[in-house]
Structure 1
Amino acid sequence: MPIVNVHLFEGRTLEQKRRLVDEVTKAICNSIEVPADAVRIILMEMERTDFAVGGVLASDKNK
């Protein structure tokens, strides 16, 4: 049973999340040959103030 954690910034629509989990499930099923009902996906939304690259918060990147 594959379990996938997807971290993404908040603000995606429900439809975008549906497409994401559908496409990720298909990719897993095709690549490791498991049935779709065996795939688990956890979406972890975060604010831009909770992620940084190179010591700079994502919320500060465009300032």
Structure 2
Amino acid sequence: MPLVEVTLIEGRSNEKKAALIAKVTDAVVEAIDAPIESVRVVIREVPPQHWGVAGKPKG
């Protein structure tokens, strides 16, 4: 059972996250011939103040 974890800064719409889940699932199916029913995608959302870039928080 492939499990893909995606970490994002929070704030994207449910529609965008659903599209991401669908495309990541399709990519896994295509890349490793996994049955689509076996693919799991988890999105973890992080507040911007907990995300650092170049030594500074995004939020």
TM-score, normalised via structure 2 length? 0.92
TM-score, normalised via structure 1 length? 0.87
Q: Who is 1:32 aligned against?
A: 32
- Give aligned pairs, total: 59
1:31-50 CA distance string (max 9 Å, x none): 00001111111110111101
CA distance in 2, matches of 1:3, 1:18: 16
1:44 and 2:59 correspond? no
* TM-align CA RMSD: 0.8
In the TM superposition, structure 1's runs of 4+ consecutive aligned residues that sit over 2 Å from their partners are none
1:12-47 CA distance string (max 9 Å, x none): 111111100000000000000001111111110111
List alignment gaps of at least 5 residues for structure 2.
none
List alignment gaps of at least 5 residues for structure 1.
none
Higher radius of gyration, 1 or 2: 1
CA distance in 1, matches of 2:13, 2:20: 11
Identity %: 36
